[in-house]
Amino acid sequence: MCGKTKKSDSRGRVELHCHLDGSLPLETVRALTGRADLTLEDLQARPDCGSLKEYLEKFDLPLEGMQTREGLVRAAADFLYSLKEDAIRYVEVRFAPMQSVHPQLSCRQVLESVLEGLERAGKETGIDGRVIVCAMRHHSEETNLKMMRTAREFLGQGVCALDLAGDEASHPVKEFRRLFAEAKKLQFPFTIHAGECGNVENVREAVALGASRIGHGIALRRDPGFMETVGRLGIGLELCPTSNFQTRAARPEDYPLETFLRARLAVSINTDNRTVSQTTLSRELELASRLSRGLGDERLFTENAVRTAFLDDEEKEELLGKLEIS
């Protein structure tokens, strides 16, 4: 379902690529860190941000407030509450559990806390929030494996998939073959951040490892032949336009959205980090509609998001029905 469609008349939106720590409301970060003097500028990347590495520095402050069970519960709940104004009905929110683990807080407790917050807010908002756990590129292999095995126990109980995040330029996907081989063995679905820093080989590696989706995947534009393979396999591309501009993954004038849609790739549009990138899904969808030069609209991107979500077929059809695009 990657062709041109009519303008959306859906009752809600779907987001697949959104980081919890990069999307917390300012008041939440103030409360969790005890720093009432924080401003949005402290949490947001500059419009002329120079690189992915610089962009990632904006995660430090929110993470300070995500070091207790209570802080994690509130962070997850406040995040979900903040989505209501953006008409979100289903979201796969990702975070790195090991970033909150310390002697007083185990990986299991971290996961339980975030899931508790999502469940609590979900009952009040009607938003279905699932968790994608992130292995971190700068963590050791054993640390990532331990996290993955613990998170796998929560699959189907709020956790829906695994991801790899962090400084892609310093740690290419090939360094994590063992992690994803083990995930595949355990039947733990996964997406991988790849191709955000211009390296198409990382996208090839992610596909070879069995990724169901690719986070960003901008570098895929450099390999039309492999683009056909990605389309044939039905692998989803999680694009985040504003973030991609800030991290210098692409410029607006040569953003590959139109190219990907002409290749009939299953592109979804996402925020990446609502607070860090000063954006909402509404804004990203409007931006994507312009960047696609008439080939895509909100209905198409929402449909693609549902079709590539980490849901079973019955859940996807139910969600499509709720959105009135079935």
* Mean pLDDT score, 192-206: 95
Token pair of 101, please? 């683990």
Residue 2, pLDDT > 90, answer no
**Distance of alpha carbon 145 from alpha carbon 183, whole angstroms:** 9
How does residue 115 score in pLDDT terms, banded at 50, 70 and 90?
very high
Per the DSSP assignment, residues forming a β-bridge with 155 are 159
**Distance of alpha carbon 77 from alpha carbon 122, whole angstroms:** 8
State the pTM of this model.
Answer: 0.94
Residue 7, pLDDT > 70, answer no
Burial 209-241 (b: 16+ CB within 10 A, else e): bebbbbbbbbbbbebeeebeebbeeebbbbbbb
* pLDDT tens readout for residues 238-255: 999 999 999 999 999 999
Q: Is 277 helix (H, G, I), strand (E, B) or coil?
A: coil
Give the pLDDT score at 10.
Answer: 47
Write out the catalytic residue numbers: 196
* Mean pLDDT score, 96-113: 98
* pLDDT tens readout for residues 155-181: 999 999 999 999 999 999 999 999 999
Say which residue, 143 or 325, is predicted with more confidence.
Answer: 143
Mean pLDDT across the chain: 94
Taking alpha carbons only, the member of 97, 22, 19 closest to residue 59 is: 22
* Mean pLDDT score, 90-109: 98
Q: How many CB atoms lie within 10 A of CB 44?
A: 19
* pLDDT tens readout for residues 277-324: 999 999 999 999 999 998 999 999 999 999 999 999 999 999 999 997
Residues of the chain with pLDDT > 70, as a percent, come to 97
The H or E element that residue 321 is part of is: helix 313-322
Taking alpha carbons only, the member of 38, 171, 151 closest to residue 100 is: 151
Burial class (CB in 10 A: 0-12, 13-18, 19+), 47: exposed
How does residue 326 score in pLDDT terms, banded at 50, 70 and 90?
low
How does residue 11 score in pLDDT terms, banded at 50, 70 and 90?
confident
Give the pLDDT score at 4.
Answer: 39
* Mean pLDDT score, 7-17: 75
* Mean pLDDT score, 62-80: 98
**Distance of alpha carbon 323 from alpha carbon 35, whole angstroms:** 39
How does residue 256 score in pLDDT terms, banded at 50, 70 and 90?
very high
* Mean pLDDT score, 262-288: 97
